[in-house]
Structure 1
Amino acid sequence: MKSTILILILICSVSNLTAHEPVKKTLSTGTLSGKIESQGELVPFASIFVQGTTIGVSADAHGQFNLRNIPGGNHIVVFSAVGYRTYSREVIIEDGNTVNLSINLEPDNIGIEQVVISANRNAGSRKESSSIVNSINPKLFDRMQSVTLSEGLNFTPGLRMENNCQNCGFSQVRMNGLEGPYTQILINSRPVFSGLAGVYGLELIPVNMIERVEVVRGGGSAMYGSNAIAGTINMITKDPINNTFSLSSSYGMTGIGISGFSTEPDFNLNANGSLVSEQNHQGLSFYGFHRKRNPYDANGDGFSELSSIDNTTFGSRLFRRTGTRGKISLDYFRIYEYRRGGNNFDKPLHESDIAESTTHRINSASLTFDQLFRDVDKLSGWISAVEVDRGSYYGANHDPSAYGQTDDLSLSTGVQYVRHSDNFLFAPATITSGTEYAFNQLKDKKNDYVDPSSMITVKGTQVAHQKINTFSAFSQSEWRLSSLLISAGLRFDKYQIDDIINRSGELTGNVLSPRISLLWHASEDLQFRTSFARGFRAPQIFDEDLHVETSGARQVLHKNDENLKQETSNSYSASMNYTHQRLFSQYQFLVEGFLTHLANPFSNEYGMPDEEGVVVYTRRNAEEGAVVKGINLELNISPSRRFQFQSGFTLQSSAYEAPQEFNEKRFFRSPEHYGYASMNWSATNRLELALSGNYTGSMLVPYFGPRLENPENGILVDSDSFFDTGIKMSYTFPILKLGKAQINAGIKNLFNSYQDDFDTGIDRDPAYIYGPGTPRTVYFGIKLGNF
């Protein structure tokens, strides 16, 4: 905590020193005004800011802007908008004068030159990044009718979402063939998404709170620490840049048109807005979300395959400029979600044959301070925290003892300085250095309960109490040598894990994680990249430990082997990226090869059921190691601003070097090929049509269900492959003066490509689930606002 206090003092000190800086009436100032267009059409709500300062403003709904009180002198002014290439222009500001500009932005319909921050913790163009960064923006979420973050991740190369439990809907994202805990989830670039939050987290987060999602594949531990072996998913929340409002709602019918089974409703309501002062000195954005989904039974056995969900989320982001070169931002959001799976939904949990239920109350807050120095150097300080309060029930056969309570607190704080040097060692360079402190405390207990046979109250027991302290320091430099960009970085992590319940003492580790990347511009259109990165995972409590698979016949618990060691990785990648931009057309083709060697990878050893049907999966080290390798392909085409086609395909293998459970080397639930495609056509300025498809290849899925003569032994099932197709049509028209309305309708999983061999009854295996997340679903929606 000493590191946290020191960093807070530093933030407050720099803030106080700069808070009164720019209100100097003696300085000469001028005004910049004008309009922003593209191909003869006005661009609404574009951002305009003066480089090297925090001075900025947004264009109005008609593309007009007026930026006052700009200090006199020569300035670089930057113009940007979603779906357009960023444009910079030098402007001379003279005292009392107004400079009028007419700006024409070039379209960037497939985001080739979109600004991203996840590759090296600095803002920069995707095309100029030494690592491949994929970005998912609100337009893609909207076209796919994604309600939560989890639904949109399938439309990124190398990523695949999967549901791991019929009862409660526990889900995870796999990146390049590696399961969920290998991917670091970031919120505004901060690693505060804990193992507990990760159990259902990607399905908890509504898309209307997200500005964009940035995905970096390959080892990210050198910049973001533990659990970034596969890569990072960085969720950027909405920033207030103009005065906007929107209200939308949709109603879906899950399982429609499937003979013999009922249709279940899925209702969503979203609200967004933002307010900024006239000259963008301060701003506020806010969002709200409500979802209510009924449970869905896919095979008529009375037990759900999709859980019920009742989610209410709200949040806000506030910023204030502290002078012309400083800015303070405050973020907050709260998520409340109740979900339940099993049967007998009209009864209390402990009166059901099977019930898995969680009630999440998540509070997240962060404070960030940015101060510019010299020309464009930047000092950043932050503190972020996420608190999770989770009540749970994982029980069968009317078990009153299955109620539990988990409390989790994650804290991340740090400082970072970005220095631009005309010559560092051998070339111009951008140097990023910083230090971070992270803390996590998790308490998990079984609640008190009344034994129905004796009517005696049985005291609850503490199941887990873990504390993790991690201190980190990192540094990275990027050198530019003509057409070559060299990036090299190193991160040091010192972690300490305390298992207070088992009193097993402190588990400590010191880890160095290097990374080096090369980007070569062979021509204006052709790029080659290669990289090496080292990563690690510490032996802590992971998300699957906090989820219990439950049936009438067995209950699965997870634990760590007492000799579990740290897992490390060496990741390599090489890619070719071809982009072609001419007038109104854009094309991109990417081929990326990846190879990851895992040393001491974690592997589950399956136990046998005890007399009460409890099975323990023990996480141990597969000392012979494992190898994950493959190829990602990406093709994006936009011959005009009215048509975009995006696609990706992955061919990969994931295997241990020595046989594991079932005498099998291959990773379970990891298909060797999967991909996606999406198309959007703006038939007119008002009418749009979107088509999408997700392909999932066959995979190995363990099965421990009643169909077997000896269920405790289990078998491996080779699953079917699936192609999930979606279609959506929307029509937008003006209302009043500055508002719009949109009506839309569509179908998810049009041909109902969905698992057809779910296990049945109270003794079913709830983990025997694979393929697309939902059956055929028809939905209708409406949206109002000045979007």
Structure 2
Amino acid sequence: MKQYILTLAVLILTAQFAFCQKDHSDAVIVGHVVCKGEHLPFVNVVIKGTTIGTTTDETGHYRLVHLPVGKLTVVVSGIGYKTSEKVVNTEADKTIEVKFDIEEDALGLDEVVVTGDKGASKRTESPVIVSSLSPALFSVSQSAVLSESLNFSPGLRMETNCQNCGFNQVRMNGMEGPYSQILINSRPIFSGLAGVYGLELIPTNMIEKVEVVRGGGSALYGSNAIAGTINMILKDPLTNSYELGASTSLIGVGVDGADDPAVDYNVNFNASVVSDDYKTGLSVYGFYRDKEAFDANDDGFSESTQLDNTTVGTRFFHRFGFRGKLAVDFFHINEERRGGNMFNYPAHRADIAEQLEHKITTTAVSYDQFFREEDKLSLYISGQKVDRASYYGVNQSLADYGQTDDFTYNAGAQYNAKFMNSSLVFGIENTHSALEDEKLGYYDKEKDIYTENTTVSDQTSNTVGTFAQYTYQFEKFKLSFGGRFDHYSIKNKAEDPDHALSDKSGNVFSPRVNVLYDVLPELQFRASYSQGYRAPQIFDEDLHIEASQARRVIHKNSADLKKETSHSYMSSLDYNTKIGNVKIGLLVEGFYTQLNDAFVKESSEPDENNVVTRLRKNAEDGASVYGINTELNILPSRDVSIVAGFTTQRSEYEKAQEFDTKSFLRTPNNYGFITLDWDFAGNWCLNATGNYTGKMYVPYYGNTIADPVAGELRKSSSFFDLGTKIEYTTQLNGASVKFWGGVKNIFNSYQDDFDKGKDRDPAYIYGPGNPRIVSFGIKIGNLL
């Protein structure tokens, strides 16, 4: 299929080169954008139905040149402001002035989102609730990487799962990380292997915003979207700009019983340049992080890993004529991490070492072509290569070095059509993944032989999917229905017979129905039903090994593992109003997901080498996840913003599983967040954040109980992680400079019973991912 897609792309591009307008029309539009008498810098100004666009400059003015001649619709939009449109008639060799006076949209009701229906629409017009994480939230939450900000969206909770390597995952609506589809610019190329540590590798300075859709999304995005989707939208070059920042953090300041504070350095930059006619643009970005390991209980073994991350990337676009646009993305992440002890020695000299080196390279090419007024054809191909060198070992073992190579690509075509009262999206795409994991050979002193490399896993998976969704707008009622048909094929082979799996293939149809009803101008009701599935393939934690002197834990799939399917139901009330000068938004969302043939894990007895195997298999009677998400936005004035969210939920198997319990482990029934942003005086701003994590059941296989093999189930405490930040912004020769300082986890609400020593249980870790952290930094740029 990809050959046809690429051929079609070449034909379209050839046509564009041949027929795009060669003569400049000299039709020009100039103007400004104001709100309440103040000029607004860096808001978007585009021509509807074309790829032509720019932003206002630092003074709030804009200029569009060499425009089509005739009737055009100019659209102005920006975060925190309502979208405004004006129809104008352009003429050759003539300049006209178009001024905009727009209104505030502090609650984000007019924000354009793309993830809900694979097409751009206003948040209030989307039949699916879409939550957004913006650069403003990244700043408020002091988030250098994506994982640090995901706790501040309803239904999401980040957790750390290993003291040695820092493996973390995001849980959405009470379900583990593999139940959520991670997208980059709406493409599912963030593989399971990349997902093990990937959310901690993505720097926030490369992200324009993150869109979150909770609930089953497989009908549009394929497998692994049972809990929902997280879509990272990368920054687009829209104007000439630059930004440079640096920060230093001290991890574990004033923590009793801890080693000295660990230091975390960060440096980042962004720059973009756009041609005078706005037809070509280029942005570049970079990020460097050097973080020391942190030992919370001074036993010589890390609770937080050592990190060294360098990320560089670029985005390029070129517009062909007025309706065609080519975009190219590229970024490369080079990250090294290590946990355990004896950091100054090679990994195999330590008592325990989990060491990873990731080289992640991502490339994407897309072409958009507008037809009629707003119809759009998109052709795309994206790929991600993960090169991972690893060591999961104990007792100075040379046998535990490994090499994993993973390549995933997604290619497809999509058409969005808009009619008088309806819209249609349909497309076809192919997602392919190839993963090979090897144990590297070494010299065995006892046997006086050199062992050869052993292939632990060699898997290829391919999914061809077609999807379609039709949406019809009545007066106050919007109905959206559609589905996706996937054919998946998974082939496995390995030299190690204990890891060899049978081939799998199947056909899956995933329907989806969404309803939006405007009960009142300020009150919206939504309801949805969707099906989803997870194919029986290798997932992220399968290639993650928990290591201690006492035992090692590896993960594998049952030979007869079959796909897991889901039925997801959601309904919500979204109320947005104004009481006096106070703007209030309240979202209440209920969810229920039934999992059939749910994946569960069964642990074996340790073998002669103290290796425990956790086998993924299908539960006999499935499981269910249900609960309520709430989100409250309060804006007493232009200078104060308060956002709070809370989730109460239950996640249970139909029959008891590990430790004779039905409850999902490591899953609190209650969790939530709060953020405060207050511009309290002139150029001064005060931020505050809070995260609440309720009690949860956590398995323990450590050295303080009589039977570490059988383990015991413990109930954790609840935690409230409070943080604050203050910043000051001033002008410097046309640029802005921002100084800031902050504290995370002020009261050190942090786990206090970590297992100790070389035979500890490294997976016995829960609650907030970091102790008290003191940070300070500086930024300089023209977009601050």
TM-score normalised by the chain length of structure 1: 0.97
**Which residue of 2 is the match for residue 429 of structure 1?**
422
Q: Which amino acid aligns with 1:466?
A: Q
Residue in structure 2 matched with residue 758 of structure 1 by the alignment: 754
2:363 maps to 365
> Could you tell me which residue of structure 2 aligns to residue 58 of structure 1?
55
Is residue 2:774 matched to residue 1:781?
no
**In the alignment, what sits opposite 2:169?**
172
Deviates more, 1:653-662 or 1:449-458: 449-458
- Tell me what 1:292 maps to: 290
Q: Is the 8 A contact 1:283 1:319 kept in 2?
A: yes
Secondary structure of 1:145's partner?
Answer: coil
Q: Report the secondary structure of 2:229's partner residue.
A: strand
Once the 2 structures are TM-superposed, how far is the Cα of residue 68 of structure 1 from its aligned partner? 1.6
State the distance in 1 between where 2:276 and 2:54 align.
Answer: 8
Question: What residue is the counterpart of 2:4 in the other structure?
Answer: 6
Mean CA deviation greater in 726-735 or 500-509: 500-509
Letter in 1 for 2:111: Q
Q: What amino acid does structure 1 have at the position aligned with 2:387?
A: D
CA contact (8 A) 1:748 1:778 kept: yes
Q: How many residues align?
A: 778
* Alignment partner, residue 547 of structure 2: 550
Q: How far apart are the structure 2 equivalents of 1:585 and 1:710?
A: 58
Q: State the AA in 2 paired with 1:286.
A: V
- Give runs of aligned pairs for residues 702-721 of structure 1, distance below 5 A: 702-721=699-718
Matches within 5 A, 1:82-97: 82-97=79-94
TM-aligned CA deviation for residue 522 of structure 1:
1.1
**1:76 maps onto 2:91 in alignment:** no
Distance 1:56 1:583 in 2: 36
Aligned to 2:396: 398
1:474 and 2:485 aligned: no
1:231, 1:767 → 2: CA distance? 26
Alignment of 1:449-468 (within 5 A): 449-468=442-461
Deviations 1:700-720 (A, max 9, x none): 100000101110010110001
> 1:92 & 1:716 partners in 2: Cα distance?
71
Which letter maps to 1:304? S
What is the distance in 1 between the residues matched to 2:170 and 2:720?
Answer: 18
Deviations 1:735-768 (A, max 9, x none): 01x2010000000001000000000001100000
* 3-state DSSP of counterpart to 1:683: strand
Quote the Cα distance in structure 2 between the aligned partners of 1:706 and 1:298: 18
Matched residue SS, 2:419: strand
Q: Supply the AA of the counterpart residue of 1:275.
A: V
Deviation at 1:454, TM superposition (A): 4.7
The reply to whether residue 490 of structure 1 matches residue 483 of structure 2 is yes
Moved over 6 A (4+): none
Give aligned-pair identity as a percent.
Answer: 49
Q: Which moves more between the two structures, 77-86 or 614-623?
A: 77-86
**Corresponding position of 2:374:** 376
Letter of the 1:776 counterpart: R
- In the other structure, the counterpart of 1:442 is 435
Which of 555, 569, 585 matches 1:572?
A: 569
Aligned with 2:138: secondary structure? helix
Q: C-alpha separation between the residues in 1 aligned to 2:106 and 2:422?
A: 31
1:161 paired residue number: 158
Q: 1:686 aligns with which of 671, 683, 687?
A: 683
Aligned residue for 1:288, secondary structure, equals strand
CA contact (8 A) 1:108 1:586 kept: no
Please report how far the alpha carbon of residue 421 of structure 1 lies from its aligned counterpart in structure 2 after TM superposition: 2.5
Deviation per residue, 1:261-283 (Å, 9 max, x gap): 31110000000011111121010
Q: SS of 1:270's equivalent?
A: strand
CA distance in 2, matches of 1:455, 1:87: 77
Q: Secondary structure at the match of 1:541?
A: coil
Q: Distance in 2 between matches of 1:585 and 1:450?
A: 71
Aligned residue for 1:568, secondary structure, equals: strand
Match of 1:330 in 2: 328
Q: CA deviation at 1:84?
A: 1.8
- Of 624, 627, 630, the match for 1:630: 627
Contact 2:627 2:650 in 1 (8 A): yes
Determine if contact 1:578/1:589 at 8 Å carries over to the other structure: yes
Q: Distance in 1 between matches of 2:610 and 2:103?
A: 64
CA contact (8 A) 2:577 2:584 kept: yes
Greater shift in the superposed pair: 78-87 or 369-378: 78-87
**Pairing of 1:24-43 with structure 2 (within 5 A):** 24-25=22-23, 30-43=27-40
Relative to structure 1, is the Cα distance of residues 80 and 582 closer, same or farther in structure 2, using a 3 angstrom cutoff?
farther
Q: How far has the Cα of 1:18 moved from its partner? A: 2.0
> Is residue 2:659 matched to residue 1:662?
yes
CA distances 1:307-345 after superposition (whole Å, capped 9, x unpaired): 000000000000000110000000000000000000000
User: Structure 1 residue 24: deviation in Å?
Assistant: 4.7
Aligned to 1:538: 535
Structure 2 match to 1:355: 353
Give the aligned partner of residue 309 of structure 1.
Answer: 307
Q: CA offsets, 1:282-325, max 9 Å, x none?
A: 10111000000000000111100000000000000000001100
Q: Which amino acid aligns with 1:416?
A: Q
1:518 to 515, 519, 522: 515
Query: What secondary structure, in the 3-state scheme, does the structure 1 residue paired with 2:199 have?
Result: helix
Q: Are 2:257 and 2:296, in contact at CA under 8 Å, matched by a contact in 1?
A: no
Separation of aligned partners in 2, 1:231 and 1:468: 22
The root-mean-square deviation of aligned C-alpha atoms, in Å, is 1.2
**Cα distance in 1 between the residues matched to 2:106 and 2:141:** 17
The offset of 1:640, in angstroms, is: 2.1
User: Match for 2:487: what amino acid?
Assistant: K
Q: 1:94, CA displacement in angstroms?
A: 2.7
The match for 1:413 is 411
* Residue from 222, 225, 235 that aligns with 2:219: 222
- Which residue is equivalent to 2:603? 606
Give the superposition deviation at 1:72: 2.2
Measure how far apart 1:581 and its partner are: 4.8
After superposition, residues 243-262 of structure 1 pair within 5 angstroms as 243-261=240-258, 262=260
Report if aligned partners of 2:533, 2:565 keep a CA contact under 8 Å in 1: yes
- 2:583 paired with 1:590: no
**Which residue identity is paired with 2:742?**
G
Q: 1:731 matched to which residue of 2?
A: 728
Alignment partners' CA distance in 2, 1:108 and 1:144: 22
Residue 123 of structure 2 corresponds to residue 126 of structure 1: yes
**Cα deviation digits, residues 596-639 of structure 1 (max 9, x gap):** 00000000011111121100001010020101000001100112
AA at the equivalent of 2:305: S
**2:178·2:224 contact (CA, 8 Å) conserved in 1?**
yes
Q: How many angstroms does 1:29 deviate by?
A: 5.3
Hey, what's the Cα distance between the residues in 1 that align with 2:547 and 2:745? 28
Shift of 1:22: 3.9
Q: Distance in 1 between matches of 2:579 and 2:128?
A: 25
Is 1:771 the equivalent of 2:767?
yes
Q: Distance in 2 between matches of 1:42 and 1:773?
A: 42
Secondary structure of the 2:607 match is coil
Check whether the contact 1:190–1:412 (CA below 8 A) recurs between aligned residues. yes
CA distance in 2, matches of 1:481, 1:774: 50
Alignment of 1:84-123 (within 5 A): 84-123=81-120
Structure 2 unmatched ranges of 5 or more: none
Deviations 1:719-745 (A, max 9, x none): 010000000000000001x20100000
Note if contact 1:584-1:641 (Cα within 8 Å) is conserved in structure 2. Answer: no
**For residue 267 of structure 1, what is the aligned residue in structure 2?**
265
Letter in 1 for 2:442: Y
Residue 425 (structure 1) aligns with: none
> 1:408 touches 1:442 (CA, 8 Å); kept in 2?
yes
Can you list the C-alpha shifts for 1:174-206, whole angstroms capped at 9, x where unaligned? 000000000000000000011100110000100
The equivalent of 1:23 in structure 2 is: 21
